[in-house]
Amino acid sequence: MSVLAILKWPDARLSQTCAPVQDVAEIETLVTDMFETMYTAPGRGLAAPQVGVMARLFVMDAGWKEGDMTPLACLNPRITKATDDRVTGGEGCLSMPGVEAQVARHAEITLEYTDLTGTLCTMSLTGAAAIIAQHELDHLDGLMHFDRLSPEARAAILVEYEAL
């Protein structure tokens, strides 16, 4: 296992759409390294483009900071259902350390993804897990959390980040 370098905004790769994972066996080491990187950072989620790999893959663990480890690796994830209910909360990003944005997200989602055995899975997520999954999915589509903000709020976040 090794800790990978996390790309920082404005690296151009963070604005690119990722390609689907074709071969699960080829990314097993990457997934292990991504978990190691995420826990070391310390974060709750990490998408492949954040470590320079342009593949539709993210890892997450919504509860580990509270002592309940629930690691989840999602290959080729997509949201198949989302509630109209929204929750707004502070989101940080390992690719933009030191700033937090108030982002509105779906309160509950149904996530479809392939796991490391190649099995297609479906999972309902709420709370922090739903927010983390949506945040990481954005990375796979070339979006940062601040891209979900109004132009004014986005500009303020970028000014704050540039001042760090």
Active-site residue numbers? Answer: 136
Q: φ and ψ at 26, to 5 degrees?
A: -70, -20
Q: Residue 73: enclosing H or E segment and its boundaries?
A: strand 72-82
Q: φ and ψ at 122, to 5 degrees?
A: -130, 135
Beta carbons within 10 angstroms of residue 117's beta carbon = 7
Beta carbons within 10 angstroms of residue 32's beta carbon = 15
CA–CA distance, 31 with 73 (Å, rounded to integer)? 7
